[in-house]
A and B are shown apart, each in its own frame.
Chain A
Amino acid sequence: MRGISTVLITVSPEASRQMRPPRAIHPKDFKIGNSLGRPFQRELHKRVLRDALSLLKEPARPGEIIERAYAEYGEQ
């Protein structure tokens, strides 16, 4: 079977770090249950998804969880 390129969006970076994922992004301070953001924050969901997918084209940092901050998450 050929390999499949993957990227993880994690809101539990400590647990994820132990699994040593090939690519992972941690949206800073997003609570469990809000991996992409809050309900209906569609532009934020897209930003997080774009950032996660962009890791596929960045230099490899296997096992590292890349933290990104999103100011919009704080807004209700």
Chain B
Amino acid sequence: MSRKCVPFTPYERELSRATVAIVTAGGVHRKDQQPFNIADELGDLSFRIIGADAAADDLMVTHHHYDHSDADRDINVVFPLDALNELVKEGFIGEAARQHIGYMGYTMQLKRMYEETAPQIAEEIDKRSRADVVVLTGG
């Protein structure tokens, strides 16, 4: 993978007009969604759509490969939903995207994650989230 070119899209607008989505590999999902399957040793390749109307208390982490006890107390440490919304209020960015994404970044199937999950997430962001900027976090 390191032999591939760096995927670079210049950002031409002012940040104050940006629509920003969060995509986290930290295993974040809504409490009313199916948790990530941490019993799957190969790693769950699915992702969850987290609507912008979610509150921090609606969210949780399912992930077996990092200590998420801090995220369990405050999801913002890996999924900065409240911080993002405050940057919107302050005018630093234009708006939060309609949808954010959570997935479970631990995988033994890196090729499949790269060829399947990543393009699917990009499609969601492009077509339904309407974001022009994505902030990525791990755990």
**A interface residues (Cβ-Cβ under 8 A, vs B):** 1-12, 16, 18-22, 32-40, 42, 45-46, 48-50, 52-54, 56-57, 60, 62-63
CB–CB B135/A42 < 8 A: no
| 11 intermolecular pairs with C-beta atoms under 8 Å apart | A6-B135, A7-B135, A19-B2, A20-B4, A33-B71, A36-B78, A38-B77, A49-B80, A49-B84, A56-B11, A62-B8
CB–CB B78/A53 < 8 A: no
Give the 7 A-B residue pairs with the shortest CB-CB distance, closest first: A3-B9, A39-B74, A62-B6, A45-B83, A56-B11, A5-B11, A22-B8
Shortest Cβ distance from B52 into chain A, in angstroms?
Answer: 16
Shortest Cβ distance from B14 into chain A, in angstroms?
Answer: 8
CB–CB A33/B78 < 8 A: yes
Q: Which residues of B contact A46 (CB under 8 A)?
A: 83, 86-87
CB–CB A36/B76 < 8 A: yes
Interface residue total, chain B, C-beta cutoff 8 A:
45
CB–CB A4/B74 < 8 A: no
A-B contact count (CB 8 A): 136
**B interface residues (Cβ-Cβ under 8 A, vs A):** 1-2, 4, 6-11, 15, 18, 20, 26, 66-71, 73-74, 76-78, 80, 82-84, 86-87, 92-93, 122-123, 125-126, 131-139
From B75, which residue of chain A is reached at the shortest CB distance? A39
Give the CA-CA distance A1 to B2 in the complex, in Å.
23
CB–CB A37/B77 < 8 A: yes
Give the CA-CA distance A31 to B77 in the complex, in Å.
11
CB–CB B77/A4 < 8 A: no
Shortest Cβ distance from A4 into chain B, in angstroms?
Answer: 6
* B66 partner, pick from A3, A33, A49, A57, beta carbons under 8 A: A33
